Amino acid sequence: MSKAKVADWRKVSPAPIVLAFGPEDYLVSRVIRSIREQLRLRDSDLEITDIDAAEYLGGQLQDLSGPSLFSSPRLVIIRGMERCSDELITDGLLYLQAISPETSLLLTHSGSTVRGKKLLDALRSDENVIEVQCAKISKDVERAAFISAEFASEGRQISSGAVKALQDAFSTDLSELAAACQQLMQDSASVISEELVDSYYGGRVETSVFKVGDAALAGQSAKALALLRHLLTSGADPVQIVAGLGTTMRRMAKAFGNRSVTPGDLGVTPWVMEQIRKNSNGWTDEGMSRMVNALVEADAAAKGSHRDPVYVLEQLVLLVKKQVVTLSE
């Protein structure tokens, strides 16, 4: 039996049926936008219908994909197959038996449930279908690859330091990260440098969290404390700050004394791995243990176990700085 074709989300082209599968909403939105824009370039009279799968009514797909009054091409978007009605499953299976040549059907499924599995299996077994994987992008190595690919797709260059700076500045929101990449490319014709990224986005909370840890590990306690207090006065949640510091410190603890650990094990790029090894050089078992225990205490304090979580956070930063200074003596 013929199988559905698989396409990269950056290179997907219109097809009788496109299935955008995966939990990364931003990638799904890029697929939808790309298909819509390509079809509009083919015919400006494109008719677009956007439906939530949970609200689908029996017969809608057949009605929307039938011949239009003015013979205009159609794009039918059905979002959230993981919430689909039984009627959509039934109508979807029927549609595969008689696909409309005038209609492009685009379905999305987050993969969060097995709802609609019978229709999913049928779609994946049909040669008229193109499936686009929209997997979650969360690890550092994945975000670094995403950033590099955004610039490479436009024939632009970005330094490794700039990639890291963008990762730090936009550690949670992929759509904001993509927008930042586009902004940098629009505003600069040269290679994107770390300095340029810092000048644009150095003030973001996410960047500053990592810079607190970097300053502490460099023995710069005054700078680390100033950054920490700036974050807190800007309204940053202590829980988020501890989480950011914890990411840096836990990776260092995992790499400590373990020469066989790889970037993939930590979910980072080789460049970041090199920095982690550099930061962990010279630490003792006792020093590493004290840092981890202080991190646990700070996490508990940020979540309400201590009446002054800010003090506990400051002590964590000073403890790291003290260990670094001891190493340099």
Give residue 261's pLDDT band: very low, low, confident or very high (50, 70, 90).
Answer: confident
Q: What is the tens place of the pLDDT at every residue in 273-292?
A: 888 888 887 788 888 888 88
Long-range contacts of the stretch 298-307 (C-beta < 8 A, 24+): 298/242, 298/245, 299/239, 299/242, 299/243, 299/246, 301/238, 302/237, 302/238, 302/239, 302/241, 302/242, 303/239
- pLDDT for 68: 67
- pLDDT for 154: 93
- Alpha-carbon gap, residue 245 to 222, rounded angstroms: 17
User: Residue 17 above 60 pLDDT?
Assistant: yes
Give residue 151's pLDDT band: very low, low, confident or very high (50, 70, 90).
Answer: very high
- pLDDT (mean) for 14-28: 95
- Alpha-carbon gap, residue 299 to 283, rounded angstroms: 22
Kindly state the percentage of the chain with pLDDT values over 90: 45
